[in-house]
Homo-oligomer: A and B are copies of this chain.
Amino acid sequence: MKEYCFGIDVGGTTVKCGLFRTDGEVLEKWEIPTRLENDGGFILPDVAKTVLSKMEDKGLTAEDVEGIGIGIPGPVNDNGEVEVAVNLHWGHVNIVGEMERMTGLRTKAGNDANVAALGELWKGGGIGFRNMIMVTLGTGVGGGIIINERVVAGAHGAGGEIGHTHIDDSITDPCNCGNCGCLEQVASATGIVRLAKEELASCDDPSLLRDAPEISAKAVFDAVKEGDILSIRIAERFGFYLGKALAIIACVVDPEVFVIGGGVSKAGPILLEFIKKYYVPYAFTASKGAAFELAKLGNDAGIYGAARMVLQ
């Protein structure tokens, strides 16, 4: 094993970059803009340039660098190719082929949510575990499945798309994916707002939320911490949906730990209590004792996981 590696997390507006020691210590973090013009054709050359330039700054040669891991917002197949990455304006791109050609460094590529899960396993909420489900509660619900320390990418790069598990037959308006009743519609930040609006409209009970400047997942969990009864009902419904969905997922892969991240997870440990309350009764016996942890790396999970990927 060489001494250094790079972890790169390509987003729709910026590319996060990290220079790591292969033992997991991050030595330097920086960002470059994601240039979307020219069908995103500058993105990988820009990444190659910043990597090579950082190596020059540090006096590193290919002899010192194990390789580059790179996370992409789109489905990446086992050969390191993507067919479409809408947020990068990409059609088919051979990420690994292009990066290796431009840098001379071994490259591995993966989906950004899966890669972030690997980061949390390595240096975040999943430390010490080998089998983990990462759940990212943001605008949507993302996921990453790690089995024996490796990402389950899936046959079409859709492994871990747990936001689109069907969880409620009664929902008739469509999710972004086109189906109705997806977990994402009720357990994301947006989904929690949906539940809050339903709950507020269904009764005249007083609630701190009625005076809130904006109904948001944060406002709901802030009110829960104040003991607001109506907000607790919303949190219970959220917990019911997510806990039940995770219990179903546990029957499939039987994880050791669930790591919960994304903006909604800033609510803290109380969030986990609402999820576990409904997870345990629905989970299969062997999986009832799975651990629940909060994610720890925030926006850095992607660069950590990308670096880890290249060491596998």
Question: A residues near B, CB below 8 A?
Answer: 75, 78, 130-131, 143, 145, 147-148, 152-166, 177-179, 244, 247-256, 281-282, 284-287, 290
Q: With A and B bound together, what is the CA distance between A65 and B5 in angstroms?
A: 42
Q: When the two chains form their complex, are residues B254 and A177 in contact, meaning their CB atoms are under 8 A apart?
A: no
How many chain copies does the complex carry?
A: 2
Residues of B within 8 A of A256 (CB): 155
Q: In the complex, how many angstroms separate the beta carbon of A242 from the nearest chain B beta carbon? A: 13
Q: When the two chains form their complex, are residues B166 and A248 in contact, meaning their CB atoms are under 8 A apart?
A: yes
Q: When the two chains form their complex, are residues B286 and A165 in contact, meaning their CB atoms are under 8 A apart?
A: no
Which one of B152, B156, B244, B254 lies within 8 Å of A287 (CB-CB)?
Answer: B156
Which one of B154, B158, B251, B282 lies within 8 Å of A158 (CB-CB)?
Answer: B251
Q: When the two chains form their complex, are residues B166 and A253 in contact, meaning their CB atoms are under 8 A apart?
A: no
Q: When the two chains form their complex, are residues B154 and A254 in contact, meaning their CB atoms are under 8 A apart?
A: yes
| 21 A–B contacts, CB within 8 A, in A order | A75-B286, A131-B155, A143-B252, A147-B152, A154-B254, A155-B254, A155-B287, A156-B287, A157-B254, A158-B250, A158-B254, A161-B251, A161-B254, A162-B251, A162-B252, A163-B251, A165-B248, A178-B285, A179-B282, A179-B284, A248-B248
Q: With A and B bound together, what is the CA distance between A256 and B248 in angstroms?
A: 20
